């Protein structure tokens, strides 16, 4: 009897000990989990995206969007840049989305059709977030043509259609021109410059330097480089062009219009407004087409200048009209020719442009 009771006591103690060990193990697991999640401990390693698709590029972030955005800052692959563009939209920073998507479209590496589709979709979304959905219409249409991604196609089809833009009178054109101070222009040497006098024509150029980067800093750097070449190498009093247009469609102020330009050679500069589109518009590995935004900005700038100075379609020239040069490039000359034809069809002559001001 005593022995059986002793066994029962031992069994009871063993059960109590087992239950104690279980509670201790559970408590240890809780403490271990808490320590792993403590603020002082490193978070699990982040792996940047390596592919482009709706499930990856447009996925809701599993961490704060700002944190993932910063983690991707130094990664310049197309998947990372497109993911950053999406995160920028989540953070309501549309200009950064435009810059990252533009890097994919106009950077040194040509995007695949899939990458271009997502980049153009994100650009269209960024323009919509800026309150200018019409500026992203071309990008949206282009993305719809290129994409094979089912979810992206559904997003594009569900987007609110933008009514076609009605033709505007030239007098309605209103453009924003980025000031010289924004690209840190050097002070002109006015003793090397002549007053402009009466304006009678305008001429289109390209910078002949590869540029598909839409970041303001990159565009400003190319304009600075042009000014340095014009002033230090060629002895001009300032940058030779009056206006410059970057791949994102920004219009930059060059030489003040009160001064005659230095862009069309000798007497051809007299009364001649110089407009330079940044980029190398020659076919080949180091050349590329002007962007659609760049062309649209040029068309609007030209229309405004025709109106202001009572000029007509026949007052629009390419640099190659005045000199044996490839400027503004084989890929740009047909664009200028089409612009002239469009203006002629609209009856935009000097007289018509003058009348539009009244």
CATH number of 148's domain: 1.25.40.10
The domain boundary residue, chosen from 113, 135, 158? 158
Task: Of 188, 327, 205, 208, give the one whose Cα is nearest residue 259.
Answer: 188
Mean pLDDT of all residues in 196-214: 91
Residue 342 inside a domain? The answer is yes
Residues 120 and 181 in one domain: no
Distance between the two ends of the chain, CA-based, in angstroms? 122
For residue 271 the two structure tokens come to 């009364």
10: confidence class by pLDDT, cuts 50, 70, 90: very low
The domain boundary residue, chosen from 104, 125, 158? 158
The domain boundary residue, chosen from 125, 158, 191? 158
Strands (E), the chain: 177-178, 201-206, 243-245, 251-253, 272-277, 316-318
| Structural domain range at position 129 | 65-158
79: confidence class by pLDDT, cuts 50, 70, 90: very high
Residues 229 and 152 in one domain: no
Residues 114 and 198 in one domain: no
Q: Give pLDDT, residue 253.
A: 95
Kindly report the number of other CB atoms within 10 A of residue 181's CB atom: 8
The domain spanning residue 268 has which CATH number?
3.40.80.10
Residues 144 and 260 in one domain: no
Q: Is the pLDDT of residue 52 over 90?
A: yes
Residues 154 and 176 in one domain: no
Residue 37 inside a domain? The answer is no
Count of structural domains, the chain: 2
Environment class of 97 (CB within 10 Å of its CB; exposed 0-12, middle 13-18, buried 19+) = buried
Mean model confidence pLDDT for the chain: 82
Q: Is the pLDDT of residue 188 over 60?
A: yes
Among 5-14, 186-195, 314-323, whose mean pLDDT is lowest? 5-14
Residues 210 and 352 in one domain: yes
Q: Give pLDDT, residue 351.
A: 40
9: confidence class by pLDDT, cuts 50, 70, 90: very low
Residue 224 inside a domain? The answer is yes
């Amino acid at each position: 009897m005593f022995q059986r009771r002793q066994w029962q006591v031992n069994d009871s103690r063993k059960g109590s000990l087992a239950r104690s060990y279980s509670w201790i193990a559970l408590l240890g697991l809780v403490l271990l989990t808490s320590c792993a999640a403590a603020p002082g401990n490193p978070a699990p390693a982040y792996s940047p995206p390596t592919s482009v698709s709706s499930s990856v590029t447009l996925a809701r972030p599993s961490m704060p969007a700002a944190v993932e955005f910063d983690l991707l800052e130094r990664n310049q692959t197309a998947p990372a840049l497109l993911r950053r563009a999406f995160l920028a939209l989540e953070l309501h920073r549309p200009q950064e989305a435009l810059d990252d998507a533009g890097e994919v479209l106009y950077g040194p590496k040509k995007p695949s059709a899939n990458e271009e589709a997502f980049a153009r979709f994100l650009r269209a979304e960024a323009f919509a977030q800026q309150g200018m959905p019409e500026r992203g219409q071309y990008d949206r249409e282009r993305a719809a043509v290129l994409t094979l991604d089912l979810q992206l196609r559904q997003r594009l089809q569900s987007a609110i259609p933008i009514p076609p833009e009605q033709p505007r009178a030239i007098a309605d054109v209103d453009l924003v021109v980025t000031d010289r101070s924004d690209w840190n222009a050097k002070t002109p040497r006015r003793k090397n410059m002549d007053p402009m006098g009466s304006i009678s024509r305008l001429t289109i150029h390209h910078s002949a330097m590869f540029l598909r980067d839409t970041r303001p800093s990159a565009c400003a750097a190319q304009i600075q480089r042009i000014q340095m070449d014009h002033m230090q190498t060629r002895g001009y009093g300032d940058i030779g062009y009056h206006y410059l247009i970057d791949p994102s469609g920004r219009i930059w102020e060059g030489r003040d219009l009160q001064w005659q330009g230095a862009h069309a050679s000798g007497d051809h500069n007299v009364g001649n407004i110089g407009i330079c589109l940044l980029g190398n518009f020659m076919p080949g590995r180091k050349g590329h087409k002007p962007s659609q935004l760049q062309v649209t900005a040029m068309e609007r700038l030209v229309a405004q200048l025709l109106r202001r100075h009572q000029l007509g379609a026949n007052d629009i020239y390419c640099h190659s009209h005045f000199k044996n040069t490839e400027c503004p490039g084989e890929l740009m000359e047909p664009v200028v020719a089409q612009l002239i034809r469009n203006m002629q069809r609209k009856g935009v002559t000097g007289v018509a442009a003058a009348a539009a001001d009244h």
